[in-house]
Amino acid sequence: MNKSGLVIRLAVVIIFTAVIVGLITTQIFYRFTFLNEQALGEQSIKQLYNTVSPTASIASYLGDEELAKEVINGLISNDLITAAAIKTDVLMVKSDNYRPSTATLEFTLFSPFQKERSVGVLFVKPNEKHLVDRANKISATNAFVVAIEALIITLISILVTYYVITRPILNIGKALHTISPGTNERINKPSSHQKSEIGQLADDVNDLLTKAEEQMLREKNLRSEVEVLESRFRMLFENATSAIVLVEPQGDILLYNETFEQLIEKLNLTLKKNYGNYLQDLFIMKKDLHEHIRIAFSNNESAAIELELISYQDEKFWVQVVVTQLITDDFQENYQITLHDISKRKKQISLLDQKANYDGLTNLLNRHAAEHHLKLLVATKVPFALIMMDLNDFKPINDIFGHDSGDELLIHVASQLMKSLRKADILSRWGGDEFVIVLPNADKEEVSNVCEKLAAQLSKPHHLSQHNKSVFVTASMGVSFYPDDEAELLELIRLADKAMYQVKRDKSTNQELYLAFSRDISDLENKSKKP
């Protein structure tokens, strides 16, 4: 039997309560009976006094010692009295064991003829031991009877409680224990509790079982739908051509698909738990990523930016990064990061840009791209020097050794020019054997130094591999300054071109000449026009 069961616990509570109540009741009843019996003993002694008082009064009035002794002997013969004495002015009659110092009861004896005249005193000593013993015996008997009644009541209470309350509840509990949630099984209402609280409890439990069945059926249907949706979403997630990653604000990766894992392998990186905030460690331009995300999130938008990935291979990888902020039901913030591979598109754009803006032979900027850069400098008011350069003696080399050798020489010239220029300088192939060089924020002295270096580099012989011949070319350079010489771009180019052709004309008389400034030519022309 279960020691913690309802029956045992209820029986213990009832027994404990009955014992406590029984003890208190028996003690109270015992005390009440004891005091009552003592009061009855005293009342009995008073009744004895009333019985013997006429005789004792006559003996006292007459002073008859013999009659007084008969009264005394009659009193002490009763179990309630152990000693007695009659005292008058002339007489003192007492029992053998009477002691004046012990506690006694005093009764006044009056004259038989004069009811208000005292003729003596009757001293009676009660038999206290007899009174106590009798009171204890009667009290104990009554207490025992009360205890038996309490025991009987307790047993009846336990049986009634068990059959009326406990057993129906236990039956309901056992029925609940055997019922499987979500089925149509229900509890049978106890026949004796069709309208009682226990019957109502059974009805409420059955209602709960019905609701539980309905709820579980709905959940089962929802679970089936969720499983179908989950399988579809997982199929989409796993088979997505773009890498998808779910990360925490601290950068810890919560979920990723197979495409992301393949991307990490392609980058020759190690797959790990954290790549920094927004996977920043995968990108070259981390600051651009963070700034773009900050601006997009401040406008409650998803961030989208094209960035180059870090790679330990020669091939470049570009992705379009889409970062979406997600808030869960418990207000946790996560980020979905999608990486669309745009490397092929970037490569195609780069090739198109190369064709549109770069010379196919020398890989220098073509005339269209150079003009675009010049227009930007003019639009932003950046001062610059424009150098128009044309190769001397290139046509004979091209005619003698062929176009392949001519192309080889042009490539050589382009590489030599690149070696002599700064990073901010602009170098382009203007057309044929003409080149344009732009030096931003350069003065006349700086331009002279650059042109001197260019002339020195070009004067070095170049070996034609196909013909086993060494050739060299020189250059004629004309320079104009923006905005000092001219603010209009086409006129600025015309001035530099004019200065360059002036060098070509003067080179027949001065082979060392390679450079002319448009302002110097203008000054000479102005002087020659003066009378």
Q: Using H for helix, E for strand and C for coil, what is the string for 106-144?
A: EEEEECCCCCCCEEEEEEEEECHHHHHHHHHHHHHHHHH
Pick from 114, 136, 158: which residue ends a domain? 136
Do 393 and 289 share a structural domain? no
CATH code where residue 37 lies: 3.30.450
Do 369 and 337 share a structural domain? no
How much is the pLDDT for 370? 92
Q: How many domains does the chain have?
A: 4
Residue 179 placed within a domain: no
Do 224 and 290 share a structural domain? no
Q: What is the pLDDT of residues 143-174, one digit of tens each?
A: 787 778 778 888 887 787 777 777 777 777 77
Share of the chain above pLDDT 70, in %: 92
Residue 156 placed within a domain: no
Mean pLDDT, residues 192-214 taken together: 78
Do 307 and 223 share a structural domain? no
End-to-end CA distance of the chain: 139
Residue 389 placed within a domain: yes
Do 123 and 38 share a structural domain? yes
CATH code where residue 456 lies: 3.30.70.270
Per the structure, the complete domain to which residue 221 belongs is given by: 191-234
Rounded distance between C-alpha atoms, residue 65 and residue 94, angstroms? 10
Q: What is the pLDDT of residues 426-436, one digit of tens each?
A: 999 998 899 99
Share of the chain above pLDDT 90, in %: 18
- 494: its two tokens: 């015309």
Q: 57 near 112, Cβ under 8 Å?
A: yes
CATH code where residue 280 lies: 3.30.450.20
Do 375 and 484 share a structural domain? yes
Do 412 and 308 share a structural domain? no
Q: What is the pLDDT of residues 41-84, one digit of tens each?
A: 778 878 887 888 888 888 888 888 888 888 888 888 887 788 88
Do 64 and 203 share a structural domain? no
Residue 171 placed within a domain: no
Pick from 295, 316, 347: which residue ends a domain? 347
Residue 167 placed within a domain: no
What pTM does this model have?
Answer: 0.44
Do 459 and 502 share a structural domain? yes
Q: What is the pLDDT of residues 366-423, one digit of tens each?
A: 999 999 999 999 999 999 999 999 998 888 888 888 888 888 888 888 988 888 888 8
Report the range out of 5-14, 55-64, 296-305 with the highest average pLDDT.
Answer: 296-305
Pick from 347, 381, 415: which residue ends a domain? 347
Q: 373 near 358, Cβ under 8 Å?
A: no
pLDDT at 525 over 70: no
Q: 222 near 215, Cβ under 8 Å?
A: no
Q: 508 near 469, Cβ under 8 Å?
A: no
How much is the pLDDT for 237? 66
How much is the pLDDT for 233? 64
Residue 160 placed within a domain: no
pLDDT band at 457 (very low <50, low <70, confident <90, very high): confident
Do 512 and 379 share a structural domain? yes
Residue 159 placed within a domain: no
pLDDT band at 528 (very low <50, low <70, confident <90, very high): low
How much is the pLDDT for 380? 93
Do 277 and 390 share a structural domain? no
